[in-house]
Structure 1
Amino acid sequence: MRPEILFPLFRPITALTGVGPRISKFMEKITGEHIVDVLWHLPSAFIDRRFSPKIAEAPDNTVVTLEVSIAKHFPSRNRRAPYKVSCFDETGPMDLVFFNARGDYLKKQLPEGEVRIISGTVERFQGVLQMTHPDRIGKPDELADIQTVDPVYPLTAGVTNKVMGKAIRGALEKTTELPEWLDPAFKQKKKWPHWQEALEAAHHPQEEEDLFADSLPRERLAYDELLANQLALALVRRTVRRAAGRSVTGNGNLRQQIRDSLPFTLTNSQEEALKEIEADLSEPLRMLRLLQGDVGSGKTVVALLTALIAIEAGMQAVIMAPTEILARQHMETIEPLLSGTPITPVILTGRDKGKKRTEILERIATGEAQLAIGTHALFQEDVDFANLGLAVIDEQHRFGVHQRLALAGKGQHVDVLVMTATPIPRTLMLTAYGDMDVSRLLEKPAGRKPIDTRVMALSKLEDVAHSIGRMIAKGARIYWVCPLVEESDKIEIAAAQERFDHLQSLYGERVGLVHGKMKGAEKDAVMTAFATGEIDVLVATTVIEVGVNVPEATVMIIEHAERFGLAQLHQLRGRIGRGMDASTCLLLYGAPLSENGQARLKIMRDTEDGFVIAEEDLRLRGAGEVLGTRQSGLPEFKLAQLPAHEELLAAARDDVKLILEQDPELASERGQALRTLLYLFEEDATVGYLRSG
Structure 2
Amino acid sequence: MLPGVGPALAPLLARAAGGTRVLDLLFHLPEGSIDRRYRPTLADAEPGRIATLDVGIEVVEPPSRPRQPWRVRVSDGTGHAELVFFSAFQPKKLAAGQPVTVSGLLDGYRGRLSMAHPDHLVPRHLADSIPAVEPVWPLTSGLAARTLGRTIRDALRRLPPLPEWLDPALVRRESWPSFANALRLVHMPAATDTEADRRTAFDRLACDELFADQLALVQAKRANRARPGRVLDGDGALRRVALERFGHAPTDAQERALREIDADMRRPNRMLRLLQGDVGSGKTLVALLAMLRAVEAGAQSCLMAPTEILARQHHATLSRLSPVPVALLTGTVKGSARRDTLRRLADGSVPIAVGTHALFQDGVAFHDLGLAVIDEQHRFGVEQRLLLGDKGAGSDVLVMTATPIPRTVLLTQWGDMQVSRLDGKPAGRQPIRTTLHKIGAEAEILGGLRRALEAGARIFWVCPLVAESEMLDVAAAEARFASLTERFGAIVGLAHGRQEIGLREAALADFAAGRTRILVATTVIEVGVDVPSATVMVIEHAERFGLAQLHQLRGRVGRGAAASFCLLLHDDALAETARRRLSLLRDTEDGFRIAEEDYRIRGGGELMGKRQSGLPAFRLAKSLGAGAALDRMVRIGWQDAERLLDRDPDLDTPRGRAARWLLALFGRDGGLRRLHSG
The TM-score with structure 2 as length reference comes to 0.86
Equivalents in 1 of 2:527, 2:28: separation in Å? 32
Equivalents in 2 of 1:363, 1:318: separation in Å? 13
Equivalent residue in structure 2 for 1:248, among 218, 224, 232: 232
- 1:88 maps to 74
Equivalents in 1 of 2:260, 2:3: separation in Å? 52
Equivalents in 2 of 1:570, 1:118: separation in Å? 54
Whether contact under 8 Å (2:12, 2:140) holds in the other structure is: no
- 2:47 maps to 60
Whether contact under 8 Å (1:177, 1:195) holds in the other structure is: no
Whether contact under 8 Å (1:213, 1:219) holds in the other structure is: no
The CA deviation at 1:416 is 1.2
- 1:5 maps to none
SS at match of 1:372: strand
Q: Identify if the C-alpha distance between structure 1 residues 592 and 94 changes in structure 2 by more than 3 Å, giving closer, same or farther.
A: farther
SS at match of 2:52: strand
- 1:460 maps to 441
List aligned pairs for 1:467-616, cutoff 5 A. 467-482=448-463, 503=484, 506-507=487-488, 530-531=511-512, 536-539=517-520, 542-562=523-543, 564-590=545-571, 597=578, 599-616=580-597
Q: Identify if the C-alpha distance between structure 1 residues 86 and 561 changes in structure 2 by more than 3 Å, giving closer, same or farther.
A: same
- 2:417 maps to 436
The CA deviation at 1:573 is 1.7
1:145-173 C-alpha deviation (Å, 9 max, x unpaired) = 12532212345666564555455434434
1:522-566 C-alpha deviation (Å, 9 max, x unpaired) = 876765665555654455555543342233332223345455544
- 2:16 maps to 27
- 1:74 maps to 62
Which amino acid in structure 2 is aligned with residue 85 of structure 1?
R
Equivalent residue in structure 2 for 1:674, among 655, 659, 674: 659
The CA deviation at 1:248 is 0.9
The CA deviation at 1:393 is 0.9
Equivalent residue in structure 2 for 1:217, among 189, 201, 222: 201
Equivalent residue in structure 2 for 1:326, among 310, 320, 326: 310
Q: Identify if the C-alpha distance between structure 1 residues 303 and 185 changes in structure 2 by more than 3 Å, giving closer, same or farther.
A: same
1:81-113 C-alpha deviation (Å, 9 max, x unpaired) = 1332231214555444444x3x4x345432355
- 2:31 maps to 44
Whether contact under 8 Å (2:61, 2:72) holds in the other structure is: yes
Whether contact under 8 Å (2:29, 2:186) holds in the other structure is: yes
Task: Identify the range of structure 1 (115-124 vs 379-388) with the bigger mean alpha-carbon deviation.
Answer: 115-124
List aligned pairs for 1:334-483, cutoff 5 A. 334-338=318-322, 341=323, 343-352=324-333, 356-399=337-380, 405-482=386-463
Which amino acid in structure 2 is aligned with residue 144 of structure 1?
D
Whether contact under 8 Å (2:135, 2:186) holds in the other structure is: no
Equivalents in 2 of 1:554, 1:42: separation in Å? 49
Equivalents in 2 of 1:387, 1:369: separation in Å? 11
SS at match of 1:417: strand
Considering only aligned residues, what root-mean-square deviation do their CA atoms show, in Å?
Answer: 3.8
Whether contact under 8 Å (1:565, 1:626) holds in the other structure is: no
Equivalents in 2 of 1:531, 1:212: separation in Å? 61
Q: Identify if the C-alpha distance between structure 1 residues 444 and 155 changes in structure 2 by more than 3 Å, giving closer, same or farther.
A: farther
Percent of aligned pairs with the same residue? Answer: 47
Equivalents in 1 of 2:191, 2:618: separation in Å? 24
Equivalents in 2 of 1:659, 1:85: separation in Å? 63
- 1:645 maps to 630
Equivalents in 1 of 2:441, 2:133: separation in Å? 49
Equivalents in 2 of 1:368, 1:172: separation in Å? 64
Whether contact under 8 Å (1:458, 1:588) holds in the other structure is: yes
1:292-342 C-alpha deviation (Å, 9 max, x unpaired) = 11111111111111111111221111101122221121112112223xx3x
The CA deviation at 1:195 is 0.9
Which amino acid in structure 2 is aligned with residue 48 of structure 1?
D
Which amino acid in structure 1 is aligned with residue 57 of structure 2?
S
- 1:115 maps to 99
For structure 1, list consecutive stretches of 5 or more residues without a partner in the other structure. Answer: 1-7
- 2:263 maps to 279
Whether contact under 8 Å (1:14, 1:20) holds in the other structure is: no
Does 2:170 match 1:203? no
Equivalents in 1 of 2:196, 2:419: separation in Å? 33
Whether contact under 8 Å (2:254, 2:422) holds in the other structure is: yes
SS at match of 2:358: helix
Equivalents in 2 of 1:462, 1:208: separation in Å? 64
- 1:312 maps to 296
Which amino acid in structure 2 is aligned with residue 73 of structure 1?
E
Q: Identify if the C-alpha distance between structure 1 residues 446 and 605 changes in structure 2 by more than 3 Å, giving closer, same or farther.
A: same
Q: Identify if the C-alpha distance between structure 1 residues 567 and 689 changes in structure 2 by more than 3 Å, giving closer, same or farther.
A: closer
Equivalents in 1 of 2:125, 2:193: separation in Å? 31
Does 2:256 match 1:267? no
Equivalents in 1 of 2:3, 2:237: separation in Å? 64
Task: Identify the range of structure 1 (496-505 vs 56-65) with the bigger mean alpha-carbon deviation.
Answer: 496-505
Task: Identify the range of structure 1 (250-259 vs 294-303) with the bigger mean alpha-carbon deviation.
Answer: 250-259
1:180-221 C-alpha deviation (Å, 9 max, x unpaired) = 211222222222111111112122457999778992212211
Which amino acid in structure 2 is aligned with residue 636 of structure 1?
A
Equivalents in 2 of 1:207, 1:485: separation in Å? 49
Equivalents in 2 of 1:150, 1:484: separation in Å? 40
SS at match of 1:215: helix
Equivalents in 1 of 2:30, 2:243: separation in Å? 58
Whether contact under 8 Å (2:606, 2:615) holds in the other structure is: no
Equivalents in 2 of 1:491, 1:112: separation in Å? 61
SS at match of 1:453: strand
SS at match of 2:670: helix
Equivalents in 2 of 1:527, 1:676: separation in Å? 54
Q: Identify if the C-alpha distance between structure 1 residues 560 and 51 changes in structure 2 by more than 3 Å, giving closer, same or farther.
A: farther
Whether contact under 8 Å (2:547, 2:594) holds in the other structure is: yes
Whether contact under 8 Å (2:606, 2:612) holds in the other structure is: no
For structure 2, list consecutive stretches of 5 or more residues without a partner in the other structure. Answer: none
Whether contact under 8 Å (2:231, 2:268) holds in the other structure is: yes
The CA deviation at 1:686 is 3.6
Equivalents in 2 of 1:167, 1:490: separation in Å? 42
SS at match of 1:368: coil
Whether contact under 8 Å (2:466, 2:476) holds in the other structure is: no
Whether contact under 8 Å (2:605, 2:614) holds in the other structure is: no
The CA deviation at 1:376 is 2.5
Task: Identify the range of structure 1 (88-97 vs 174-183) with the bigger mean alpha-carbon deviation.
Answer: 88-97
The CA deviation at 1:681 is 1.6
Q: Identify if the C-alpha distance between structure 1 residues 86 and 488 changes in structure 2 by more than 3 Å, giving closer, same or farther.
A: farther
Which amino acid in structure 2 is aligned with residue 300 of structure 1?
T
Equivalents in 2 of 1:15, 1:384: separation in Å? 56
Whether contact under 8 Å (2:360, 2:391) holds in the other structure is: yes
Equivalents in 2 of 1:164, 1:462: separation in Å? 54
Task: Identify the range of structure 1 (507-516 vs 138-147) with the bigger mean alpha-carbon deviation.
Answer: 507-516
Whether contact under 8 Å (1:55, 1:88) holds in the other structure is: no
